[in-house]
Structure 1
Amino acid sequence: MRGLISRIAPRSNACLATGFFATVCLLGLFAVIWALYEPDLSIHRGMKPSQDSVDFRREIAEQLARISKELIAPEREGLGDIVLRLSRIVSRLDPRYELSDEEAIPKEPRNSSLAGDARGTVGALGPGWGGDGRELVCGEHYLGERHGYPFFETGFVAKGGCAGERPLHLVVTILLVLGEDGERDERRLETILNGVKSYNSEMKVLVAAPKVTENMNTLVKNTGNGVLYKYGKASPGEAWNMLARHAATPFVLFARGMTHFHPTHSRLRRQIRVMSGAVVVAGGAARNEEGKWNMGCLQSQMKGYSLRYTRGYHISARDCMICDHLEGPFVARTSLLHTHPFSHVDSKSDISISFLEAVTFADWFLRLKQAGFLTLGCPDVMYYVLGGTGMNRGPINYQATWLWLAVQWQLTAIINPPFSNPLETNSPKSINFSCGEVGLSCKVSKLAKKGYLVPPCCARQVVAALRAFDQFSSSGGGGDPVIQGPDSYTNVLRYELEAGSILGAVKMGSFIPWDIDGDATFESKDFPLYVRGKSWFKERGFYLSSFEDPVPMHKESPETSVKTRGYFCLNTPDIYIEMWGYHNLSMDMDSTPEALSERNDSVANKPWRSLPAPNMPPTRIHLKTLGDSEGVWARVITNPGLYARNRYGPRFLRHAQSWVNLGLGDSWQSYARSAGGWWGGSQCSRTYHHACLVHYPTDGNLNFYDDEGM
């Protein structure tokens, strides 16, 4: 959570009004869907729907559910792409009702403070200008499918001499930050300056370099269109911020990694033209030095302390892809850098400027998405950039490179991160961090009390502890593991998970991500062996404590209590598992008939047993968590699903917070009223955090952690 509070712009009541209006629109959409489906249901009543139609309805329902959650999220500062996504859903149901792109793209977020910057007004052409980009460049029209044959270098043509059009050098300034590649950077600078001069001799190129050389000064003097700035040991983000402060135009081109400026392929007017409303960034594809083309449009998703990047797009607008992140150069509003500047990204390790820059842009685009802005990637725009198999020389410490971002956003995994050389095949698919490295606490009771999901690196402590406990028990008390055979199950220390640990095993296949502890039972006769095994557990990073003998569970009637002997805690560094002594475990007990009318004496007047045959192995469930694929086959109640349903009652598969955080007197009170909703328990104080429980479903087990995260 640390460091994130500063990322949220001040909110106003206008946001609530926007959210209310959008919610009303969503309800209207539900009505449209019902109107479309209801006649079919009446006509085909009784007919079995095809699997395709079932899958289609489920997909639509899932999309609407996701959108509705985003609408009510307190951290939302703008509509972002929500209206566009709703419009596409409407189009799939009935194209007649689809909104146009201009209708679906919302206004800029009300709290963005972009318009009317301190350095200018909405009406004055300068860095604080707040109008639409299409007001400064002429519109375009399409000349037809045959125009431009055979290579189609032309097709969409901008009109000339329209009212309001301004000279392009008054509209956009080019920003270029150089690295530490000496002669290569000087060649880049010369090529770009000459390319821009041949296109528009009055267009300014602001250049930042760690060290300004004599050759650079000469190049700038000869071309007459560049301005040099030295940024020394400052971070790449600080260098970009410095250049943006010196720009005097309403738009800037971030020439990130650019090697050549191509006047036709860069298509600056095209990018400026699509800039209106919530769209504040527009870029294009990139062609590297080996001729490899890359769209560079990425989607980002945070969940369960993981950040995943996916190449591609879900939706488009204005003939551009809506992206969460762009890997290549792009045009942006100058005022955006005044309200949302780049962060100062540093590293204790020796990391190249290009890699620090990749982290800088990743952080910036994440903050733009969080604020409700839109970024467009236009495939017809192409930039010439650095890159190729020879770009990355020597070993690269990827973990050290991305540690800063992981700390700022509290991530234990970054999957498919965007690198400075995006087509590099040797880049890792996932970069993982420990809880300690990113400053995450594993005090699960505190996390649950604050309404946060438990990090998977903390859940691994529980799985590892149960694996050690299973090993100790299977070895008969810390010796060599007992060879499993037909009669071996009577020679080990028997135990079974119970209570919330059984519920987690059945529902999640792991530790419940919002639980506060673990629960298990053991045979009371083995209590002394666990007392003597303290050193064995200590050698493996765990410790046993709180030994009590005896400890009746039901003090009002200890003589009839099943749990009457023995108690201790198995402790990980941060989480404890309560161990309760039983005289008998579930496999020793008689089985209860399903119906009250049935009697348990059907076989030779002998009651049905919990297991149908003697010497059968105990029931086990495989518990695992992200980053621990081995997991443990932990012993559980003979029929764990039956136990979970009978113990927790109706809606036991729906989720609810721990009884402690629900304000219940104890765990024996009913969860049914709270199941299926997070609002009955503890609430996040920072609802924008990706681990806040309100962002997660209250049913199912598929959407809590990224499968490749840690």
Structure 2
Amino acid sequence: MDRMCGGMTLGVDVMDRMCGGMTLGVETSLYILICLGIGSMITLHFFFQYRNPYELRLTPTPQLAESLEKQETIDISSIKANVTNISNIRRQIFDLAVYLKKARLHARGSKTQRALKYASENMDAILRGFGTSFEAVTRRKLYKSSSMCPEYYVDKVYGHLIKNCSYSKRLEEIVTIIRLNYDSPADKEFTRDGYGSKIPVIIGDYSGNVKEKSNIVVKKMASTITEGEALNMLMENVKTTYTLVLRNVTELDWNARIERLVREIEILNVNAIGGSIRNSDNVWSLGCHQRVYRNYTVVFEEGYDESMHDCAFCDHMDGPFLIKTKTLKKIKFDSKLSPMGLYEDFFMRLNTESAVCADSLFDMDFPRRSKVTKEWESFGRKRNLYRLKFSFGLTINFGCDYGYPCQRKKGFVRSPCCIQELADLSYGFMDMCEKEGGSCQLNAGTILGAVKMYDVIPWEADADLNFRCQDFNKLKEGGLKLGSKGIRVGVERISVCSPSAHPAQLGARSKHWHADIWSRDWIEPYEVRAEHRNLTRIPFNGRLLNGMRNPGLFARNMYPEIFLHQQHASEGGVKKVYKFSKCPMKDNHDCIDNYYEDGNIQFHDPVA
């Protein structure tokens, strides 16, 4: 155990600061490598997003804790080991390697990619001490197909051939096709080359042109039935293990290679698998997208991070897909959604990896993605979205002209529309103050947000403003003019302009927010205006508002460590620890613990 633990006793608090919450004992040299490679840079960026499910219960020695408190360099050779469960440490390291693999695959920024590359290399050195390797620990598990005989590669001429086996099933025994027909002529033959002619097919027919056959069941659809509702009706009649959803397919031939999809859905153990697509202009597309849903924004980026067996793993697929029937019937389609967002919503609720195999090809019309916000509105409102983005250039901004929720609950960030309302409240009063010839400035947490975010802090509880007390009456009267903007200004405390008296206080309210507006017998912008005629104006939610002459100095004096993030005292209490509280809903898109306790770029639009 001395060889495994390198003479160290490490605790949760210690390693959270030194090695990102990873508890381990290794030779001194390896310990230094992991602390340098995974330590201060990696774990603050990564570990709080991919939390280790195993609780660490190791206690630091007083010597080690004292050194860390003083931020001193630690002589680890003098630290004695006190590790009671080496198998648990091994499990934690193995799990951490898996999280590193996920982070490395999905990293976009060059700094993050480089740091994770070094961390993975250091982790590989540690794992070799356990008789394994980084790739061995993080390799995906493959399963044996129970329905299709295995493939084997021959050469460049013959490609892949199929081995003989005794357990292969016929497609018609395990697959049912469902599709919708809108305007096909009555004499059009859907299948080509006889491929798939025996597979059971259930068609939702809007045109009235499709005729039933021995393997084809036709369900007549009225024009009022939505696409999602029609698909749900069809799937209820499926009896086979798998369902092939032929989305917008114009014809089906042997290039679909449905046998291949069945084989890979079982080998890769995914819930859904699809193929590439070719449109009516013979343009080919893989149709594989990665998705990020964070902070009221959904981003789809076409491409892949990982592949296996010549299939790319995807969060969303554009083309037809084979899916486990029991999963399809459980998830279903949302019958209330329009075609814009119907499949995006389906795969979001599926919420598991899917795959696209490039050699399976379907002829279909590429999915139409409208540029009209109205057509996406039912999807956007369901997800409470502020913005929807696709990597090919389409961006849908839903705006705030609707009854958006503005819940201020512990453990969540506020919605962009909720933040916009608070910013509008602050701007409305400040603009009125300027027009009335008063002297006002941002204060407290509001100026802090302007300094660190150029905006409202995403977990803000109210707005804070100041005004010169001599302007009390004119601002009280001027506030009456803000009613048309949905802002109500009232007197909350009356006093005289005297350093010894309680300051006068105004209050401003909007639908969901309140602003505390305190009087001061001296307001810097007024003096600056008189002496220098150059007020400091600071960007705030896309506009410029008055701050003090040196906003950064004011914020730093009021809030030590101004760039680190800390929840409002009404939520997190008064504490010195910069750590977000645990979210009541695990992995929800608006959970505050999705974010790191430092940095503002993470609050910009996400990258898939």
TMscore range, shorter length? 0.7 to 0.9
Contact residue 525 and residue 547 of structure 2 kept, 8 A: no
1:666 maps to what in 2?
Answer: none
1:378 maps to what in 2?
Answer: 357
2:342 maps to what in 1?
Answer: 360
Following superposition of structure 1 onto structure 2, how do residues 281-296 of structure 1 map, counting pairs within 5 Å? 281-296=272-287
Please state how far the C-alpha of 1:671 moved relative to its aligned partner: 3.7
Check if 1:401 corresponds to 2:366: no
Structure 2 residue identity aligned to 1:672 = K
Query: 1:191 is matched with which residue: 189, 192, 202?
Result: 189
State how far apart, in whole Å, the 2-side matches of 1:453 and 1:327 are: 31
Structure 2: any 5+ residue segments left out of the alignment? 1-19, 55-95, 106-115, 126-131
2:4 maps to what in 1?
Answer: none
Query: 1:566 is matched with which residue: 474, 491, 504?
Result: 504
2:300 maps to what in 1?
Answer: 309
2:206 maps to what in 1?
Answer: 210
1:498 maps to what in 2?
Answer: 443
Q: Deviations over 1:566-592 (max 9, x none)?
A: 321233332222211111123688xxx
Please state how far the C-alpha of 1:138 moved relative to its aligned partner: 1.3
Following superposition of structure 1 onto structure 2, how do residues 577-656 of structure 1 map, counting pairs within 5 Å? 577-586=515-524, 614-624=531-541, 631-649=542-560, 651-656=561-566
How many aligned residue pairs are there?
528
> Taking structure 1 as reference, are residues 314 and 66 closer, same or farther at Cα in structure 2, changes over 3 Å only?
farther
SS of 1:198's equivalent in the other structure is coil
Following superposition of structure 1 onto structure 2, how do residues 135-154 of structure 1 map, counting pairs within 5 Å? 135-144=146-155, 147-148=156-157, 154=158
SS of 1:505's equivalent in the other structure is helix
1:516 maps to what in 2?
Answer: 461
> Taking structure 1 as reference, are residues 244 and 63 closer, same or farther at Cα in structure 2, changes over 3 Å only?
farther
SS of 2:236's equivalent in the other structure is helix
Please state how far the C-alpha of 1:34 moved relative to its aligned partner: 10
Check if 1:676 corresponds to 2:575: no
Contact residue 460 and residue 568 of structure 2 kept, 8 A: yes
> Taking structure 1 as reference, are residues 387 and 309 closer, same or farther at Cα in structure 2, changes over 3 Å only?
closer
State how far apart, in whole Å, the 1-side matches of 2:479 and 2:419 are: 22
Contact residue 149 and residue 168 of structure 2 kept, 8 A: yes
Contact residue 45 and residue 596 of structure 2 kept, 8 A: no
Following superposition of structure 1 onto structure 2, how do residues 654-665 of structure 1 map, counting pairs within 5 Å? 654-663=564-573
Give the alignment's TM-score, normalised by structure 2: 0.76
State how far apart, in whole Å, the 2-side matches of 1:39 and 1:688 are: 31
Please state how far the C-alpha of 1:362 moved relative to its aligned partner: 1.2
Q: Deviations over 1:28-71 (max 9, x none)?
A: 898899976846999xxxxxxxxxxx9x9999657743651496
1:414 maps to what in 2?
Answer: 388
Contact residue 84 and residue 104 of structure 1 kept, 8 A: no
Check if 1:546 corresponds to 2:509: no
> Taking structure 1 as reference, are residues 559 and 239 closer, same or farther at Cα in structure 2, changes over 3 Å only?
closer
1:226 maps to what in 2?
Answer: 216
Structure 2 residue identity aligned to 1:638 = R
1:441 maps to what in 2?
Answer: 405
Query: 1:532 is matched with which residue: 474, 477, 497?
Result: 477
SS of 2:341's equivalent in the other structure is helix
1:251 maps to what in 2?
Answer: 242
State how far apart, in whole Å, the 1-side matches of 2:470 and 2:315 are: 60
Please state how far the C-alpha of 1:644 moved relative to its aligned partner: 1.9
Contact residue 443 and residue 465 of structure 2 kept, 8 A: yes
Q: What is the Cα-based RMSD across aligned positions, in Å? A: 3.9
2:92 maps to what in 1?
Answer: none
State how far apart, in whole Å, the 1-side matches of 2:470 and 2:312 are: 67
Structure 2 residue identity aligned to 1:459 = I
Please state how far the C-alpha of 1:693 moved relative to its aligned partner: 1.6
> Taking structure 1 as reference, are residues 249 and 102 closer, same or farther at Cα in structure 2, changes over 3 Å only?
farther
Check if 1:451 corresponds to 2:411: yes
State how far apart, in whole Å, the 2-side matches of 1:172 and 1:83 are: 37
Please state how far the C-alpha of 1:466 moved relative to its aligned partner: 3.3
State how far apart, in whole Å, the 2-side matches of 1:41 and 1:103 are: 25
Structure with bigger RCO (C-alpha 8 Å, 6+ apart): 1
Please state how far the C-alpha of 1:191 moved relative to its aligned partner: 3.0
> Taking structure 1 as reference, are residues 290 and 155 closer, same or farther at Cα in structure 2, changes over 3 Å only?
same
Please state how far the C-alpha of 1:613 moved relative to its aligned partner: 11
Percent sequence identity over aligned pairs: 25
SS of 1:449's equivalent in the other structure is coil
Please state how far the C-alpha of 1:463 moved relative to its aligned partner: 2.6
Structure 1 residue identity aligned to 2:153 = Y
2:592 maps to what in 1?
Answer: 693
Query: 2:161 is matched with which residue: 157, 163, 170?
Result: 157
Please state how far the C-alpha of 1:367 moved relative to its aligned partner: 0.9
> Taking structure 1 as reference, are residues 247 and 315 closer, same or farther at Cα in structure 2, changes over 3 Å only?
same
Please state how far the C-alpha of 1:537 moved relative to its aligned partner: 2.1
Structure 1 residue identity aligned to 2:335 = H
